[in-house]
Amino acid sequence: MEISNIERNKAEVLRILEENARLSDSEIAVRAGLDESEVKNIIGELEERGIIRKYKAIINYEKAGIEMVQALIDIKVVPERSKGYDSIAERISRFPEVKSVRLVSGEYDLSVLVEGKTMREVAYFVAEKIAPLEQVRNTVTHFLLKTYKENGEMYEEEESGQRLAVTL
């Protein structure tokens, strides 16, 4: 099945926005080979349909000197009859410390990204808010030590032209 030009244009606008959401409609139009009005219409439709959920910056908090602790929590749950994993995933999603919740394959059912100011705060959140939930059977917490790449962006810029000295 061939993709229509309209769908191809939408995909291209999404790709450009994902790369740099700060571009103006006219800049996107030039890059996509479209009219600015077409770009405005495409973006409006994509926002209205919930395809574009939010525009967000990728921030290297460590470089900014802001202390933040992130952890991935693997959670084994008992799915509810007729609702499956949806109700427990939705409940966990409501906590402000939770940044993402994903249903995953493997030994655990949910993978939850959590942020806090300290390791103690994150550990307390898991012990006091997540573990006591009725459907939760087991959790494993993985504290993130360093981020190398986030949403396709490298955190450390490669130093170009830098070579190590060779000694004999």
Quick one: tokens of 167? 């000694």
Q: What is the mean pLDDT of residues 78-97?
A: 94
What confidence category does residue 4 fall into, taking pLDDT thresholds of 50, 70 and 90? confident
Residue 121: predicted pLDDT: 96
Question: Is the pLDDT higher at 161 or at 126?
Answer: 126
CATH classification for the domain delimited by 5-48, as one of 1.10.10, 1.25.40, 1.10.3470, 1.20.5: 1.10.10
Question: Mean of the per-residue pLDDT values for the chain?
Answer: 91
Concatenated DSSP letters of 59-73: --HHHHT---EEEEE
Q: How confident is the model at residue 160 (pLDDT cuts 50, 70, 90)?
A: low
Reported pTM: 0.76
Give the residue, 8 or 58, on which the prediction is more confident: 8
- The domain spans of the chain are 5-48, 61-146
For the segment(s) 61-146, the CATH number from 3.30.470.30, 3.40.50.1220, 3.30.70.920, 3.20.20.70 is 3.30.70.920
Cα–Cα nearest to 79, from 37, 108, 48? 108
Q: Which of 3, 15, 13, 51 is nearest to 33 (CA)?
A: 13
- Can you list the positions of beta strands (E) in 49-132? 69-77, 98-103, 110-116
Tally of CB atoms within 10 A around 26: 12
Whether the pLDDT of residue 161 is over 70: the answer is no
- The owner of tokens 């830098």 is 162
Predicted local distance difference test score (pLDDT) of residue 67: 87
Comparing CA positions, the residue from 60, 63, 61, 44 lying closest to residue 52 is: 44
Q: What is the pLDDT of residue 116?
A: 95
Structure tokens at 135: 């459907």
| Cross-strand pairs, 153 | 150
Average pLDDT over residues 4-19: 91
Tokens 């573990």 — which residue? 131
101-139 per-position pLDDT tens digit: 999 999 999 999 999 999 999 999 999 999 999 999 999
How do residues 28-63 score in pLDDT, each as one tens digit? 999 999 999 999 999 999 999 999 999 988 888 888
